[in-house]
Amino acid sequence: MSRIGKLPIELPAGVTVELKDNVLTVKGPKGELKQNINPNIKVEVEDNQIKVSRPDDERESRAQHGLYRALIHNMVVGVSTGFKKEMEIVGVGYRATSNGQVLELALGYSHAIYLKMPPEVKVEAKSERNKNPLITLESCDKQLLGQICAKIRSFRKPEPYKGKGVKFVGEVIRRKSGKTAAAK
């Protein structure tokens, strides 16, 4: 039995779940999310708990059992509390500003990068004197939030010599010494 898949999902107050034609809809104070569910996976909602079960012990069924349980759990957490990611921009002259749903990045290229955010994601950029600029992203959809963070990071990944680039807050970059250390 899948250790992840067999865990029940607790429904917090204010969250409603509806399953109709293999489409699971989760509504809460932060928004509404939908997910298609494989017909082989059985989802039951009873007394503030969601239970996910599988028909057999085939390899595909076991894989999807844990997957759908994790996806449903992320949906429930997202619509009740939401997800938040913070990114830090390290580098001289690197800047970030947000204007509504548009994020403007200056990352050392000859042009500024403009990234329009989907309506489900809230973006905020803070720049304080003598500190690295911070980008704060909030959403109820964990998959979409991760995808946007990966897109922002792909514009200028942190390099190992000086650590310049876009990174997550708290992320540790493995540093290299450079050629002066090898020459001695």
Tell me if 115 sits within 8 A of 149, measured CB to CB: no
To the question of domain 83-168 being in CATH 3.90.930.12, the answer is yes
Question: Which residue do the tokens 């034609």 mark?
Answer: 21
Q: Label residue 121 by pLDDT band (50, 70, 90).
A: very high
Domain boundaries, the chain: 9-80, 83-168
Tens-place pLDDT, residues 158-173: 999 998 999 999 989 9
Longest dimension (CA), the chain: 70
Instruction: Measure CA 51 to chain center.
Output: 24
Tens-place pLDDT, residues 60-111: 998 999 999 999 999 999 999 999 999 999 999 999 999 999 999 999 999 9
pTM of the model: 0.88
Domains 9-80 and 83-168 share a fold: yes
C-alpha 144/C-alpha 88 separation (Å) is 19
Q: Which residues contact 128 (CB under 8 A, 6 or more apart)?
A: none
CATH superfamily of 9-80: Ribosomal protein L6 (3.90.930.12)
Q: Two tokens at 176?
A: 């290299």
pLDDT of residue 169: 94
